[in-house]
């Protein structure tokens, strides 16, 4: 065991945040802490690393074990270069290497005992250098930097010139190179693109130490975690397995808790009815028995009503009007900033009802493309057009659709003046803004809260084409699941940029991968993309023109998928038609058998022997015809 947390408690004022939180982490174990925003996950991490003191409880790190911590948005602040900052982690090896070189130079001049002493020193230094992987530390630094999304041309950039997200990536790289026995990471994937996240997953899976992570990235947690610690209503519960295992077990526990609660409520009601009935008899024995039952009932420890998952936030997105079948046509779009070309000749179409995700590395132009489609930026070349009756609803990750000086109530009422006060409050309550929350200023809200307000406005709009830029950023897992359900139930068209692979997997019908300045089309969700990506890229690799070959490979994949889907749809239609024909035949024969039964029951027919014989023969014939039809229907229905 490397870390043991026992009965951690923490309150802020009169509000308890953590109560009797206990869990432990074994050597080499990969553990994730999950819970809604505000549950106390980050507070718990700060208590573990000593940045906050607990009100009570203990945190024990095993003797001689080291701990490394990266908080959300932690950043290095220095004038050093990116490479130089990571190189500083290896200062002890650099010092050893300098001593080795010094020793080598001195040995050239030394003789006798002095030479022997220098040789012993050199052997000792060399052993320490080899033990610390001294011969590979430079390639290790390069590997970490490239894995985190820095190119070799970035290595010598000054950290002072970097964005906040890039500085956080440098801080993460430094922590990984330090190789503590326990790495603690708070939302490590926030500033990483998909390739970097995949690299970090592999790195942590192979890491020769323990890892404790707070993350809302469910795909990441599925790959990394072998244990989940859930913080819910101040308490902690541990679950073995990854996020999907936890979600399934949690659902089972929730169902069991509901059944226990409902059974107890039924039993309480039953006992109350019995007690009332006994008292109504107005007999001494009956009253005593009623009183005895009342005492037993009062001793029952009444179960609290379980909290329903996502009960407080219901999100339904409904288009005001239906668009035409052709929703968006993009032809030859190109965009550059100065000499830096983001993309060129981007073309694609959106049909009504499609949910399409755009993915790609950071900086390839995904957000820029969405801004062009929303007329917020001009394209350098190409054009796009909207179909009949198409109205766009836009959600941007910077929430420019919001006004920082307005209150939440004003933000909604000013844009939708026809709504009543009750309707506005109900809309905001659906996004967890209740009571006096509605009078908070937009500028005072957190990023996640602003995201929820933007989604509330989107819900009220008349849009039938939703264009979303990183809609799950700053949302906790519960809010992500609500948004996923809403998009899956949405009858309009959705085009979005996201690096949330779990979200893409649940909501995308099609993926456009922005790579090498073009869009490569994959007709399926993220699992399908992973399955086909290497094949598509390998097909493009040997050819001289990577752009055209990617397009051809993608087009070929799309054509095969389209043909397969068409064939499957045709097969299903034929089966449905055959099933309907079979049902119609059975119905006709059964109807005729009823008519025969009615006719044979007629007294007037009962005296006509010849007619009865005809009817019996027809009845037998129909039954013989029905038998194989029943078997055929059963086979087709299966």
Q: Assign 3-class secondary structure to 435-469.
A: HHHHHCEHHHCCHHHHHHHHHHHHHHCCCCEEEEE
288 or 627, greater pLDDT: 288
The yes-or-no verdict on residue 280 having pLDDT over 80 is no
Which is it for strands 355-359 and 493-497: parallel, antiparallel or unpaired?
parallel
Report the range out of 14-28, 153-167, 428-442 with the highest average pLDDT: 14-28
59 phi and psi angles, rounded to 5 deg: -120, 120
Q: Which two tokens stand for residue 316?
A: 């339904």
How many secondary structure helices (H) and strands (E) does the chain include?
20, 18
Among 503, 420, 492, 429, which Cα is nearest to 461's?
492
β partners of residue 333:
346
Q: Supply the mean pLDDT for the chain.
A: 85
Residue 557: the pLDDT is 55
pLDDT, mean of residues 469-498: 84
54 or 580, greater pLDDT: 54
Quick check: 501 and 360 in contact, CB under 8 A? no
Predicted TM-score of the model (pTM): 0.66
pLDDT-derived band at 43 (thresholds 50, 70, 90) equals very high
Give per-residue pLDDT as tens, 523-566: 989 999 988 888 877 765 554 444 444 445 555 555 556 667 67
User: Which class for 57: exposed (0-12), middle (13-18), buried (19 or more C-beta within 10 A)?
Assistant: middle
Residue 547: the pLDDT is 43
Residue 510: the pLDDT is 93
β partners of residue 463:
none
- Could you tell me which CATH number the domain at 567-637 has? 1.10.287
pLDDT-derived band at 634 (thresholds 50, 70, 90) equals low
The yes-or-no verdict on residue 315 having pLDDT over 70 is no
Neighbours of 585 (CB within 10 A): 15
Alpha-carbon distances of 175 from 70, 76, 151, rounded to whole Å: 7, 11, 19
Walk across the sheet containing 3-12 and list its strands: 15-25, 3-12, 56-61
Name the residue with tokens 């699941």: 481
Among 45, 36, 15, 56, which Cα is nearest to 232's?
36
Alpha-carbon distances of 198 from 51, 219, 513, rounded to whole Å: 30, 10, 16
The superfamily (CATH) of domain 326-560 is P-loop containing nucleotide triphosphate hydrolases (3.40.50.300)
Q: What is the largest CA-CA distance in the chain?
A: 138
Residue 192: the pLDDT is 84
Alpha-carbon distances of 133 from 99, 141, 206, 589, rounded to whole Å: 16, 12, 17, 84
HEC letters along 212-281 = EEECCCHHHHHHHCCEEEEEECCEEEEEECCHHHHHHHHHHHHHHHHHHHHHHHHHHHHHHHHHHHHHHH
pLDDT, mean of residues 275-299: 82
Question: What is the percent of the chain with per-residue pLDDT over 70, rounded to a whole number?
Answer: 91
Residue 631: the pLDDT is 64
> CA 330, CA 423: separation in Å to the nearest integer?
38
634 phi and psi angles, rounded to 5 deg: -60, -40
Residue 289: the pLDDT is 81
Q: Which two tokens stand for residue 81?
A: 């270069």
Residue 543: the pLDDT is 44
Quick check: 328 and 387 in contact, CB under 8 A? yes
Walk across the sheet containing 326-337 and list its strands: 340-351, 326-337, 381-386
Give per-residue pLDDT as tens, 356-389: 999 988 888 898 999 999 988 999 999 999 999 9
Quick check: 401 and 475 in contact, CB under 8 A? no
135 phi and psi angles, rounded to 5 deg: -80, -5
């Amino acid at each position: 065991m490397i870390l043991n947390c026992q009965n951690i408690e923490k309150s802020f004022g009169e509000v308890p945040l953590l109560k009797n939180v206990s869990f432990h982490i074994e050597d080499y174990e990969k553990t994730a802490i999950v819970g809604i925003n505000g549950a106390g996950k980050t507070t718990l991490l700060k208590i573990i690393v000593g940045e906050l003191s607990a009100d009570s409880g203990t945190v024990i790190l095993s003797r001689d074990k080291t701990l490394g911590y990266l908080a959300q948005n932690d950043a290095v602040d220095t004038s050093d270069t990116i490479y130089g900052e990571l190189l500083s982690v290896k200062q002890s090896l650099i010092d050893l290497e300098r001593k080795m070189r010094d020793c080598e130079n001195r040995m050239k001049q030394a003789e006798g005992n002095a030479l022997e002493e220098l040789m012993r020193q050199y052997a000792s230094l060399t052993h320490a250098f080899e033990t610390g992987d001294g011969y590979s530390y430079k390639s290790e630094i390069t590997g970490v930097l490239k894995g985190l999304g820095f190119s070799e041309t970035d290595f010598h950039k000054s950290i002072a010139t970097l964005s906040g997200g890039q500085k956080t990536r440098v801080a993460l790289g430094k922590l990984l190179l330090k190789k503590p026995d326990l790495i603690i990471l708070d939302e490590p994937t926030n500033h990483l693109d998909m390739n970097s996240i995949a690299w970090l997953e592999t790195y942590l899976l192979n890491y020769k130490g323990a890892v404790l992570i707070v993350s809302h990235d469910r795909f990441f947690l599925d790959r990394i975690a072998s244990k989940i610690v859930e913080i819910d209503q101040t308490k902690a519960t541990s679950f073995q397995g990854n996020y999907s295992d936890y979600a399934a077990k949690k659902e089972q526990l929730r169902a069991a808790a509901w059944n226990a609660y409902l059974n107890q409520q039924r039993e309480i009601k039953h006992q109350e009815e019995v007690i009332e009935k006994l008292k109504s008899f107005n007999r001494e024995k009956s009253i005593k028995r009623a009183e005895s039952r009342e005492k037993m009932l009062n001793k029952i420890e009444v179960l609290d009503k379980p909290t329903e998952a996502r009960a407080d936030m219901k999100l339904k997105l409904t288009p005001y009007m239906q668009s035409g079948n052709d929703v968006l046509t993009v032809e030859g779009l190109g965009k550059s900033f100065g000499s830096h070309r983001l993309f060129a000749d981007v073309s694609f179409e959106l049909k009504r009802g499609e949910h399409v995700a755009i993915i790609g590395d950071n900086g390839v132009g995904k957000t820029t493309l969405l801004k062009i489609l929303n007329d917020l930026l001009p394209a350098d070349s190409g054009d796009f057009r909207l179909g009949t009756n198409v109205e766009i609803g836009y959600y941007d990750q910077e929430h420019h659709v919001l006004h920082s000086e307005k209150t939440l109530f004003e933000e909604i009422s000013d844009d939708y003046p026809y709504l009543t006060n009750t309707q506005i409050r109900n809309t905001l309550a659906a996004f967890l803004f209740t009571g006096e929350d509605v009078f908070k200023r937009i500028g005072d809200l957190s990023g996640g809260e602003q995201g929820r307000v933007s989604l509330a406005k989107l819900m009220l709009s008349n849009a039938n084409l939703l264009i979303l830029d990183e809609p799950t950023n700053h949302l906790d897992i519960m809010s992500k699941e609500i948004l996923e359900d809403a998009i899956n139930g949405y009858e309009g068209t959705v085009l979005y940029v996201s690096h949330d692979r779990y979200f893409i997997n649940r909501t995308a019908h099609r993926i456009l991968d922005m790579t090498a300045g073009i869009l490569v089309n994959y007709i399926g969700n993220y699992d399908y993309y992973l399955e086909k990506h290497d094949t598509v890229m390998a097909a493009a690799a040997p050819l001289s023109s990577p752009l055209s070959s990617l397009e051809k490979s993608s087009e070929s994949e799309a054509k095969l998928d389209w043909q397969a889907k068409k064939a499957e749809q045709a097969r299903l239609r034929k089966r449905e038609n055959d099933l309907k024909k079979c049902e119609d035949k059975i119905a006709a024969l059964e109807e005729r058998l009823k008519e025969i039964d009615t006719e044979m029951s007629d007294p007037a027919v009962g005296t006509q022997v010849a007619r009865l014989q005809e009817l019996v023969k027809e009845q037998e014939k129909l039954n013989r015809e029905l038998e194989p039809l029943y078997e055929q229907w059963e086979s087709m229905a299966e």
